[in-house]
Amino acid sequence: MLADTSLPLRGACQCGACSFEVQASLKARFRCHCLICQAFNDKPFADVVVARARHVVLKNAGNISFRKYRPPPNFNRGLCRACGKPVVEVAGIGPFKVMFIPASNFEADARLTPPRFDIFYHRRVQDMPDSLPRYSGYLASELAVGRLIMGGL
Ligand SMILES: [Zn+2]
Ligand SMILES: [Zn+2]
């Protein structure tokens, strides 16, 4: 494998207390308009990239407060104990463990893929100006993310 000089991708929460590195290029990214993401991110929607958990190094994991908000199970959302802003979200277990990381947490020069689609679009408080695929409803939204993850990260 050729060395990718853009790696690792680096980022942190808003205050910088919870920094992380991702040791792989990230191909999966989407926007979620669900009410929990709106509240968790304190934004109209979440714009997240998806990484395999084993590719992510959390530098100050002790500064992250993880909390489950609701089913599906094994879905933990991590907030920085210092600034209270999102760091990462963790879903799944074992080899299927993935992390959802807000795109805005990455350094400005990190090479991130553009978003692929919108989910929970029926919950949106802001219309999207582009024409990416849009999924509404719980099942369609969850399936879109499932297909994205199974399609390879
Ligand atoms: Zn912070
Ligand atoms: Zn959401």
Question: Which residue shows structure tokens 């958990």?
Answer: 53
- Residues 6 or more apart whose CB falls under 8 angstroms from that of 71 comprise none
Bridge-based pairing state of the strands 118-119 and 28-32: parallel
Nearest ligand to the CA atom of 121: 2
Quick one: which of 61, 49, 59, 37 has its CA closest to 110?
49
Q: Is residue 102's pLDDT more than 60?
A: yes
Quick one: which of 1, 59, 63, 46 has its CA closest to 145?
46
* pLDDT, the chain, mean: 92
Which pTM was predicted? 0.92
Expressed in angstroms and rounded, the spacing between residue 8 Cα and the centre of ligand 2 is 26
Q: Is residue 127's pLDDT more than 90?
A: yes
Expressed in angstroms and rounded, the spacing between residue 142 Cα and the centre of ligand 2 is 10
Domains in the chain: ranges and CATH: 9-150 (3.90.1590.10)
Dihedrals phi, psi of 136, to nearest 5 degrees: -120, 150
Query: Over the stretch 31-75, which tens digit does the pLDDT of each residue have?
Result: 999 999 999 999 999 999 999 999 999 999 999 999 987 765 568
* pLDDT band, residue 19 (cuts 50/70/90): very high
Percent of the chain at pLDDT > 90 equals: 78
Nearest ligand to the CA atom of 124: 2
Residue 38 Cα to chain centre, angstroms: 13
Nearest ligand to the CA atom of 87: 1
pLDDT given at position 122: 97
Expressed in angstroms and rounded, the spacing between residue 48 Cα and the centre of ligand 2 is 10
Residue 10 Cα to chain centre, angstroms: 14
Expressed in angstroms and rounded, the spacing between residue 77 Cα and the centre of ligand 1 is 14
Q: Which residues surround ligand 1, an ion (CB under 5 A)?
A: 13, 15, 17, 80, 82-83
Nearest ligand to the CA atom of 142: 2
Q: Is residue 1's pLDDT more than 60?
A: no
Nearest ligand to the CA atom of 79: 1
Are residues 55 and 22 in contact, defined by beta-carbon separation less than 8 angstroms? yes
